[in-house]
Protein backbone atom coordinates (compact mmCIF):
# COMPACT_ATOMS: atom_id res chain seq x y z
CA UNK A 1 0.00 0.00 0.00
CA UNK A 2 2.91 2.38 0.66
CA UNK A 3 4.07 2.50 -3.00
CA UNK A 4 0.45 2.89 -4.11
CA UNK A 5 0.18 5.96 -1.87
CA UNK A 6 3.58 7.55 -2.67
CA UNK A 7 3.93 7.10 -6.45
CA UNK A 8 0.77 9.09 -7.40
CA UNK A 9 2.10 12.07 -5.42
CA UNK A 10 5.06 12.31 -7.80
CA UNK A 11 2.98 11.40 -10.85
CA UNK A 12 4.90 8.20 -11.57
CA UNK A 13 2.20 5.61 -10.84
CA UNK A 14 1.58 3.16 -13.66
CA UNK A 15 -2.04 4.17 -14.01
CA UNK A 16 -1.02 7.83 -14.38
CA UNK A 17 1.45 6.98 -17.14
CA UNK A 18 -1.29 5.30 -19.18
CA UNK A 19 -2.70 8.78 -20.04
CA UNK A 20 0.46 9.85 -21.85
CA UNK A 21 -0.09 8.22 -25.25
CA UNK A 22 -3.50 6.54 -25.22
CA UNK A 23 -4.72 8.45 -28.31
CA UNK A 24 -2.81 6.09 -30.59
CA UNK A 25 -4.56 2.98 -29.31
CA UNK A 26 -7.37 2.07 -31.74
CA UNK A 27 -9.07 -0.16 -29.17
CA UNK A 28 -9.79 2.80 -26.87
CA UNK A 29 -12.41 5.53 -27.17
CA UNK A 30 -10.28 8.65 -26.71
CA UNK A 31 -13.26 10.92 -25.97
CA UNK A 32 -14.57 8.69 -23.19
CA UNK A 33 -11.10 8.25 -21.74
CA UNK A 34 -10.64 12.01 -21.61
CA UNK A 35 -14.09 12.65 -20.13
CA UNK A 36 -13.60 10.06 -17.37
CA UNK A 37 -10.04 11.11 -16.46
CA UNK A 38 -11.11 13.44 -13.64
CA UNK A 39 -13.42 10.80 -12.18
CA UNK A 40 -10.68 8.16 -12.32
CA UNK A 41 -8.10 10.43 -10.67
CA UNK A 42 -10.42 11.50 -7.86
CA UNK A 43 -11.69 7.95 -7.27
CA UNK A 44 -8.21 6.44 -7.08
CA UNK A 45 -6.90 9.22 -4.84
CA UNK A 46 -9.81 8.81 -2.41
CA UNK A 47 -9.60 5.01 -2.46
CA UNK A 48 -5.84 5.17 -1.85
CA UNK A 49 -6.38 7.26 1.27
CA UNK A 50 -9.07 4.83 2.44
CA UNK A 51 -6.69 1.94 1.77
CA UNK A 52 -3.93 3.49 3.91
CA UNK A 53 -6.39 4.03 6.76
CA UNK A 54 -7.63 0.44 6.41
CA UNK A 55 -4.09 -0.93 6.53
CA UNK A 56 -3.29 1.04 9.68
CA UNK A 57 -6.55 -0.07 11.27
CA UNK A 58 -5.76 -3.72 10.45
CA UNK A 59 -2.53 -3.43 12.44
CA UNK A 60 -4.59 -2.52 15.49
CA UNK A 61 -7.47 -4.92 14.90
CA UNK A 62 -6.89 -7.96 12.71
CA UNK A 63 -10.60 -8.63 12.25
CA UNK A 64 -10.76 -5.61 9.92
CA UNK A 65 -8.61 -7.50 7.40
CA UNK A 66 -11.91 -9.05 6.31
CA UNK A 67 -12.50 -5.88 4.29
CA UNK A 68 -9.20 -5.82 2.38
CA UNK A 69 -10.43 -7.97 -0.52
CA UNK A 70 -13.71 -6.03 -0.97
CA UNK A 71 -11.64 -2.84 -0.93
CA UNK A 72 -9.35 -4.18 -3.66
CA UNK A 73 -12.34 -5.21 -5.77
CA UNK A 74 -13.84 -1.72 -5.50
CA UNK A 75 -10.46 -0.12 -6.23
CA UNK A 76 -10.14 -2.15 -9.39
CA UNK A 77 -13.34 -0.69 -10.90
CA UNK A 78 -11.96 2.84 -11.57
CA UNK A 79 -8.46 1.39 -11.99
CA UNK A 80 -9.59 -0.48 -15.12
CA UNK A 81 -11.05 2.74 -16.54
CA UNK A 82 -7.48 3.87 -17.14
CA UNK A 83 -6.40 3.50 -20.80
CA UNK A 84 -4.36 0.34 -20.33
CA UNK A 85 -2.91 -1.34 -23.39
CA UNK A 86 -3.06 -5.06 -22.65
CA UNK A 87 -3.27 -6.04 -26.28
CA UNK A 88 -5.27 -9.20 -26.89
CA UNK A 89 -4.89 -10.41 -23.29
CA UNK A 90 -7.08 -7.85 -21.55
CA UNK A 91 -9.65 -10.36 -20.30
CA UNK A 92 -7.00 -12.91 -19.32
CA UNK A 93 -5.02 -10.38 -17.28
CA UNK A 94 -8.17 -9.30 -15.47
CA UNK A 95 -9.01 -12.94 -14.77
CA UNK A 96 -5.52 -13.65 -13.36
CA UNK A 97 -5.54 -10.48 -11.25
CA UNK A 98 -8.90 -11.37 -9.71
CA UNK A 99 -7.83 -14.93 -8.87
CA UNK A 100 -4.53 -13.81 -7.31
CA UNK A 101 -6.31 -11.19 -5.20
CA UNK A 102 -8.77 -13.82 -4.02
CA UNK A 103 -6.04 -16.31 -3.07
CA UNK A 104 -3.87 -13.75 -1.26
CA UNK A 105 -6.43 -11.48 0.42
CA UNK A 106 -9.53 -13.58 1.05
CA UNK A 107 -10.37 -14.32 4.69
CA UNK A 108 -13.88 -15.74 4.27
CA UNK A 109 -13.57 -17.65 1.04
CA UNK A 110 -17.10 -19.02 0.90
CA UNK A 111 -18.45 -15.45 0.81
CA UNK A 112 -15.63 -13.78 -1.14
CA UNK A 113 -15.72 -16.12 -4.15
CA UNK A 114 -19.18 -15.02 -5.41
CA UNK A 115 -18.34 -11.40 -4.56
CA UNK A 116 -15.18 -11.54 -6.66
CA UNK A 117 -17.17 -13.09 -9.52
CA UNK A 118 -19.73 -10.28 -9.42
CA UNK A 119 -17.01 -7.63 -9.51
CA UNK A 120 -15.42 -9.39 -12.47
CA UNK A 121 -18.66 -8.84 -14.36
CA UNK A 122 -18.97 -5.24 -13.14
CA UNK A 123 -15.42 -4.42 -14.25
CA UNK A 124 -15.68 -6.12 -17.63
CA UNK A 125 -19.12 -4.79 -18.57
CA UNK A 126 -18.64 -1.42 -16.85
CA UNK A 127 -15.12 -0.03 -16.64
CA UNK A 128 -13.49 -1.92 -19.51
CA UNK A 129 -16.45 -1.49 -21.85
CA UNK A 130 -16.75 2.24 -21.11
CA UNK A 131 -13.32 3.10 -22.51
CA UNK A 132 -13.44 0.53 -25.31
CA UNK A 133 -14.01 1.65 -28.88
CA UNK A 134 -15.45 -1.74 -29.79
CA UNK A 135 -19.18 -2.34 -29.61
CA UNK A 136 -20.47 -4.95 -27.19
CA UNK A 137 -21.45 -7.90 -29.35
CA UNK A 138 -23.11 -11.10 -28.27
CA UNK A 139 -19.87 -13.04 -28.74
CA UNK A 140 -17.90 -10.63 -26.55
CA UNK A 141 -20.62 -10.60 -23.88
CA UNK A 142 -20.83 -14.39 -23.75
CA UNK A 143 -17.05 -14.63 -23.55
CA UNK A 144 -16.93 -12.24 -20.60
CA UNK A 145 -19.72 -14.05 -18.77
CA UNK A 146 -18.01 -17.41 -19.31
CA UNK A 147 -14.72 -15.90 -18.12
CA UNK A 148 -16.36 -14.61 -14.92
CA UNK A 149 -18.15 -17.91 -14.28
CA UNK A 150 -14.95 -19.87 -14.84
CA UNK A 151 -13.07 -17.59 -12.46
CA UNK A 152 -15.79 -17.93 -9.85
CA UNK A 153 -15.73 -21.73 -10.21
CA UNK A 154 -11.97 -21.79 -9.61
CA UNK A 155 -12.34 -19.56 -6.56
CA UNK A 156 -15.11 -21.75 -5.16
CA UNK A 157 -12.95 -24.84 -5.71
CA UNK A 158 -10.03 -23.21 -3.89
CA UNK A 159 -12.35 -22.12 -1.09
CA UNK A 160 -13.66 -25.68 -0.75
CA UNK A 161 -10.16 -27.15 -0.55
CA UNK A 162 -8.91 -24.59 1.98
CA UNK A 163 -12.06 -24.94 4.10
CA UNK A 164 -11.76 -28.74 4.09
CA UNK A 165 -8.11 -28.59 5.16
CA UNK A 166 -8.91 -26.07 7.91
CA UNK A 167 -11.78 -28.19 9.24
CA UNK A 168 -9.65 -31.34 9.10
CA UNK A 169 -6.84 -29.62 10.97
CA UNK A 170 -9.27 -28.40 13.62
CA UNK A 171 -10.68 -31.90 14.07
CA UNK A 172 -7.18 -33.35 14.47
CA UNK A 173 -6.30 -30.70 17.03
CA UNK A 174 -9.45 -31.48 19.03
CA UNK A 175 -8.70 -35.19 18.83
CA UNK A 176 -5.16 -34.67 20.14
CA UNK A 177 -6.46 -32.46 22.94
CA UNK A 178 -9.01 -35.09 24.00
CA UNK A 179 -6.35 -37.82 23.94
CA UNK A 180 -4.03 -35.75 26.14
CA UNK A 181 -6.83 -35.08 28.59
CA UNK A 182 -7.57 -38.82 28.71
CA UNK A 183 -3.91 -39.60 29.44
CA UNK A 184 -3.84 -37.01 32.22
CA UNK A 185 -6.79 -38.70 33.94
CA UNK A 186 -5.07 -42.11 34.06
CA UNK A 187 -3.20 -43.29 37.15
CA UNK A 188 -0.29 -44.49 35.05
CA UNK A 189 2.10 -41.90 33.69
CA UNK A 190 3.39 -41.82 30.14
CA UNK A 191 6.52 -40.14 28.85
CA UNK A 192 7.82 -39.97 25.29
CA UNK A 193 11.60 -39.66 24.88
CA UNK A 194 13.57 -38.63 21.83
CA UNK A 195 15.37 -41.69 20.38
CA UNK A 196 18.83 -40.11 20.18
CA UNK A 197 19.27 -37.81 23.17
CA UNK A 198 16.69 -39.54 25.40
CA UNK A 199 15.13 -36.22 26.31
CA UNK A 200 11.41 -35.97 27.04
CA UNK A 201 9.27 -34.54 24.28
CA UNK A 202 5.97 -35.27 25.99
CA UNK A 203 4.82 -36.31 29.47
CA UNK A 204 1.41 -36.68 31.02
CA UNK A 205 0.60 -35.08 34.35
CA UNK A 206 0.92 -38.37 36.33
CA UNK A 207 4.39 -38.88 34.81
CA UNK A 208 5.45 -35.39 35.91
CA UNK A 209 4.24 -36.12 39.45
CA UNK A 210 6.19 -39.39 39.53
CA UNK A 211 9.37 -37.64 38.35
CA UNK A 212 9.01 -35.02 41.06
CA UNK A 213 8.60 -37.71 43.73
CA UNK A 214 11.64 -39.61 42.44
CA UNK A 215 13.62 -36.37 42.47
CA UNK A 216 12.84 -35.82 46.15
CA UNK A 217 14.01 -39.27 47.30
CA UNK A 218 17.12 -39.49 45.08
CA UNK A 219 20.52 -39.01 46.81
CA UNK A 220 22.66 -39.23 43.67
CA UNK A 221 23.52 -35.64 42.66
CA UNK A 222 24.21 -36.55 39.05
CA UNK A 223 20.80 -38.24 38.79
CA UNK A 224 19.13 -35.28 40.50
CA UNK A 225 20.39 -32.81 37.89
CA UNK A 226 19.29 -35.12 35.07
CA UNK A 227 15.85 -35.58 36.61
CA UNK A 228 15.50 -31.82 37.14
CA UNK A 229 16.18 -31.25 33.47
CA UNK A 230 13.62 -33.93 32.51
CA UNK A 231 10.99 -32.47 34.83
CA UNK A 232 11.53 -28.96 33.50
CA UNK A 233 11.23 -30.05 29.89
CA UNK A 234 8.25 -32.26 30.64
CA UNK A 235 6.37 -29.39 32.24
CA UNK A 236 6.90 -27.34 29.10
Domain boundaries, the chain: 2-176, 189-235
> Which residues fall within 8 angstroms of residue 165, CB to CB, at 6 or more apart?
none
What pLDDT digit, counting tens, does each position of 150-184 carry? 888 888 888 888 888 888 888 888 888 887 777 77
Q: Give the per-residue pLDDT at 229.
A: 61
What pLDDT digit, counting tens, does each position of 9-46 carry? 777 788 888 888 888 888 888 888 888 889 999 999 99
For the purposes of burial, counting CB atoms within 10 Å of the CB of 148, is it exposed (0-12), middle (13-18) or buried (19 or more)?
A: buried
Does this model's pTM top 0.85? My answer is no
Element (H, E) at 177: helix 138-185
- Give which of 10, 12, 34 is closest to 22, Cα–Cα: 34
Is residue 235 pLDDT above 60, yes or no? Answer: no
What pLDDT digit, counting tens, does each position of 68-112 carry? 888 888 988 888 888 888 777 777 787 788 888 888 887 777 778
Amino acid sequence: MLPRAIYPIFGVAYWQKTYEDYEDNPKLDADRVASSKTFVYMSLYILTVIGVILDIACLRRRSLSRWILPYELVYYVPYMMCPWDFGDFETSIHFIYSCINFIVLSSKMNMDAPLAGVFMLVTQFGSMQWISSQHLTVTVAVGRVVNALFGTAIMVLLATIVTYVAVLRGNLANLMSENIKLLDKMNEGMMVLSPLQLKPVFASKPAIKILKQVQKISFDTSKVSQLQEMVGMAEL
